[in-house]
Structure 1
């Protein structure tokens, strides 16, 4: 049982900590509410879990064989984060356009994880710590534990966003919140460039 607890602790530490996926969940919860944000939460969790399983079953060997691929993923992730930051910063904050601005989709959440260097690092580190041998039972066991923890962690960020929602009842408040989220995403991108 201590292996499961260790897996859960690792999954919680890496899933609940601030990062681009969680910032988007927070922003989505604030703008669209929890229910609409659960598509992003589900997509991000499924995308991460698929990446985790593939890393555990040998995808990390591809990264060792082609190290340039790691850099390509890093740069794609940084560019994606900067694009999202720009979209948030340039939003006018008008409340009447909520219909036009939809909550992040399931596919958006999944793609974010695949373009998120933090997710790749967590997958490689986690599988290295708990399933380095590539034993399928350990890979799947870790994936199930991580799935539950990851879903709940990202959902917590979306839920936290709902508490901010009632402060965003005017365009100026929405603009301020969006720009704060944009700065946080740009900060994540800068961190990834320097890491």
Structure 2
């Protein structure tokens, strides 16, 4: 294994497993809906992120860098959407975990979130800028990113599923949802304000 490939794998692992808006939503979804229901949004989010790496490698990243208004519009759309999701999470903070009645995060919503998530675009630009080379073509970077991102995001879903029994206590559930809503807001606004 070449050093550049190992460096890319470590970068992809760190960026995929670290807390971010999508991982936090998958955690909450896993707690409310279970692992099976979390698979579609999880796979859609990972596929969207890998597609963004591929599109940036094909030149979309350069086009975005030349149009700062487009970057700002995407960033603000992402922050507003994430703020709305955090508000929904906060409003339902004390409601008991009900897998049937709660509205699940859909695959299209999870993929769309990646499209407007500034963290994903900056990660994709970094991947292409640092790791793309003749020995590591763009399609290979995208595919490897996808294969690394899926188990990393699955860990977040499993953390949510594993917390379900602990969250049966109303006080713990309230604390959990309020904390996730706050973390979601912080991660969304930190990306735009930085």
**Structure 1 and Structure 2 fold alike (TM over 0.5):** yes
| Contact 2:75–2:117 (Cα < 8 Å) also in 1 | yes
1:15 matches 2:13: no
Deviation for aligned residue 1:185: 0.5
Deviation for aligned residue 1:137: 6.3
| Aligned equivalent of 2:191 | 192
| Aligned equivalent of 1:4 | 5
What is the rounded CA distance, in whole Å, between the counterparts of 2:97 and 2:34 in structure 1? 15
| Aligned equivalent of 1:68 | 69
Which runs of no fewer than 5 residues in structure 2 stay unpaired? Answer: none
Which runs of no fewer than 5 residues in structure 1 stay unpaired? Answer: none
Deviation for aligned residue 1:92: 5.3
Would you identify which runs of 4 or more consecutive aligned residues in structure 1 move more than 6 Å? none
TM-score for the superposition, normalised by structure 2: 0.92
Using the TM superposition, name which of 64-73 and 139-148 deviates more: 64-73
| Contact 1:39–1:104 (Cα < 8 Å) also in 2 | no
What is the rounded CA distance, in whole Å, between the counterparts of 2:65 and 2:113 in structure 1? 22
| Contact 1:41–1:106 (Cα < 8 Å) also in 2 | yes
Q: How does 1:8-157 map to 2 (within 5 A)?
A: 8-91=9-92, 93-95=94-96, 97-131=98-132, 138-157=137-156
How many residues are treated as equivalent by the alignment?
Answer: 193
Deviation for aligned residue 1:38: 1.2
What is the rounded CA distance, in whole Å, between the counterparts of 2:31 and 2:65 in structure 1? 40
| Contact 2:118–2:192 (Cα < 8 Å) also in 1 | no
Using the TM superposition, name which of 42-51 and 164-173 deviates more: 164-173
What is the rounded CA distance, in whole Å, between the counterparts of 1:136 and 1:76 in structure 2? 36
| Contact 1:81–1:188 (Cα < 8 Å) also in 2 | no
Using the TM superposition, name which of 86-95 and 15-24 deviates more: 86-95
Q: 3-state SS of the aligned residue for 2:8?
A: helix
Deviation for aligned residue 1:136: 10
| Contact 1:40–1:105 (Cα < 8 Å) also in 2 | yes
Deviation for aligned residue 1:174: 2.7
| Aligned equivalent of 1:160 | 159
Q: How large is the Cα RMSD of the aligned pairs?
A: 1.9
Deviations 1:109-154 (A, max 9, x none): 10111111100100001111112x6x69610110111001111111
Judged with a 3 Å threshold, the aligned counterparts in structure 2 of structure 1 residues 112 and 96 are, in CA distance, closer, same or farther, namely closer
TM-score for the superposition, normalised by structure 1: 0.91
Deviation for aligned residue 1:171: 4.2
